[in-house]
Amino acid sequence: MLERFNLPRIRVLKIPDSRTNFDVGALFKLAPSLESVSLPQPMDKNPMHELATGSLGPLLHNIETPYDCTCEQILAFAETRWECVAASNTPGSSTKMVPFKRIEFRATNYPTPDDLGRRKALQNRGTTTEWESQRPIAFILISSAAR
């Protein structure tokens, strides 16, 4: 299905229908120019690692998905991207990669004080992280405007 579109030039992709089933890793390989993506289906762990390191979606700066993970995993995802961006900006590097500006996932736990401190450090660098708790007793949406 994905091959029918001019994916190498697509910059923004929103898939609102969760009935659409496709290989997320293949999507990012076919669409290297994606800057913003909203995916209804949970993402596999392999593409998540490849997105964090920039081997997939190096220009991606906005991602939204109902992928369930801990607050720690969300923060590590964003921090890994920042580390890889710094490494890719060294002299002689041919890889262009951008940091995440906004990432949104579903968290399976409440943020700890350490999580909130790390989130603030990311916010100071320009990355907004949003998550909502999956616990049934409360709904939490942590959001802030990127600088």
Q: How confident is the model at residue 3 (pLDDT cuts 50, 70, 90)?
A: low
Q: Give the integer Cα–Cα distance in Å for 9 and 116.
A: 36
Note whether 75 and 107 are within 8 A (CB).
Answer: no
Buried/exposed 53-73: b ≥16 CB within 10 Å, e otherwise: bbebbbebbbbbbebebbbeb
- Residue 56 belongs to what domain range? 2-133
Q: What is the pLDDT of residue 106?
A: 81
8-48 pLDDT, tens digit each: 788 998 877 666 666 778 888 888 899 998 887 666 666 88
Place of tokens 């949970």: 42
Residue 142 placed within a domain:
no
Q: What is the pLDDT of residue 60?
A: 92
Q: Give the integer Cα–Cα distance in Å for 21 and 40.
A: 10
- pTM value is 0.78
Residue 80 placed within a domain:
yes
Q: Which residues pair with 38 in a beta bridge?
A: 14, 64
Q: What is the pLDDT of residue 134?
A: 55
Q: Which residues pair with 63 in a beta bridge?
A: 37, 103
Q: What is the pLDDT of residue 137?
A: 32
Place of tokens 């949406």: 141
76-111 pLDDT, tens digit each: 989 999 999 988 877 777 778 899 999 888 888 888
Q: How confident is the model at residue 117 (pLDDT cuts 50, 70, 90)?
A: very high
Residue 46 placed within a domain:
yes
Helices (H) and strands (E) in the chain, counts: 4, 5
Reply yes or no on whether the pLDDT at 139 is more than 50.
Answer: no
Q: What is the CA radius of gyration of the chain?
A: 15
Residue 126 placed within a domain:
yes
Residue 138 placed within a domain:
no
Residue 88 placed within a domain:
yes
Which of 4, 108, 100 shows the shortest CA–CA distance to 52? Answer: 100
Pairwise pLDDT comparison (140 vs 135), residue with the higher score: 135
Residue 141 placed within a domain:
no
Which of 80, 91, 76 shows the shortest CA–CA distance to 57? Answer: 80
Work out how many domains the chain is built from and give that number: 1
Q: Give the integer Cα–Cα distance in Å for 93 and 102.
A: 25
